[in-house]
Amino acid sequence: MSSYDSEIVTQKRVLMKDVEIDVMAILNDTVGTLMACAFKENSCQMGVIVGTGTNACYMEKLQNVHKLKGEWETDGLPDEMIINMEWGAFGDDGCLASVYTDYDKEIDQKSINPKKHLFEKMISGMYMGELVRIILERLARKGVLFKGEYLAISKRECFTTKHVSEVETAAHLVGAAIAQVLNRMNRPYRVTVGVDGSVYRFHPFFKRLLDRKIGDLINKEVKYQLMLSKDGSGIGAAVVAAVATRIKREITSRSEKTG
């Protein structure tokens, strides 16, 4: 569904409740996170969500956006745009096979969308607890843990993400992804990365592990900082809506003066 279709559907649904609204902006939580942080820190160039799911967006030069080639050079607008990466689907083409384990395969096979969003299933809070449970159950069945007693952890989803005290793999994968985006952007100044999501906010070690892995993988000349964005999606949407409203008013005012 396009953003235009989403706008029409939203307006129709709200009108059914006898409430009149103007839809000024429709954006996902990663863009909201970026915009919320950019409102506080103008060096924010990337937004990341690590929670129940995971995704990221970043500022890209229009000259690198091939779909817009020839359309932006003379329009007088800024030469950058936000790219929504949908990186949860990274690896669906098999490029993560070298780090994909049998445990990851089991998670995927029993999910509601097999062979899709593989990167997300290796990282996000929705699957983290179940991934650890599968590992513990297999070790127990082999007699390595719990003296071979595995019935207590054999039920799917009985081991939740809140029981996981330290998961290095997820933090390292997210860190590697962020580092590569920062390297691609290659800004001459320190870039702020806005991050939100329950795993990032509440996991006791995730931020530290993430920060360390990014530092290991970024180019020496690239500088960055992580910035927590509480309720970034809501605040960011409000910021975008406010800017869109202001621009709309300015355009209307100019039209009235010239008309």
Among candidate residues 19, 28, 79, the one with its CA nearest the CA of residue 240: 28
Residue 220 lies in a domain: yes
- Which pLDDT does position 4 carry in this prediction? 54
pLDDT at 7 over 80: no
Report the candidate in 150, 109, 152 with the shortest Cα–Cα distance to residue 127.
109
Residues 213 and 189: their CA atoms lie apart, in Å, by 20
- Please report, for the domain that includes residue 203, its CATH number: 3.40.367.20
Alpha helices in 110-231 (DSSP H): 118-123, 125-141, 168-185, 198-202, 206-217
Residue 259 DSSP SS3? coil
Q: Which two tokens stand for residue 11?
A: 């307006």
Give domain status of residue 60, yes or no.
yes
For 206, phi then psi, to 5°, come to: -60, -50
Q: Is residue 18 part of a domain?
A: no
Tally the residues of the chain: 259
Question: Does the pTM of the predicted model rise above 0.75?
Answer: yes
Q: How far apart are CA 145 and CA 137, in angstroms?
A: 8
**19 band by pLDDT with thresholds 50, 70 and 90:** low
Q: Of 12-21, 155-164, 234-243, where does the model show the most confidence?
A: 234-243
Q: Which residues contact 255 (CB under 8 A, 6 or more apart)?
A: none
Asked whether the predicted pLDDT for residue 241 surpasses 60, the reply is: yes
Domain contains 241: no
Residue 136 lies in a domain: yes
Domain count, the chain: 1
Q: Shortest CA distance to 57 belongs to which of 229, 207, 244? A: 229
For residues 222-251, give the mean pLDDT.
87
Strands (E), 12-111: 44-50, 54-61, 80-84
Q: Mean pLDDT for the chain?
A: 85
Contact 55, 85 (CB under 8 A): yes
Q: Which residue segment(s) compose the domain that 154 sits in?
A: 29-232
The DSSP bridge pattern shows strands 54-61 and 80-84 to be antiparallel
Domain-embedded: residue 12: no
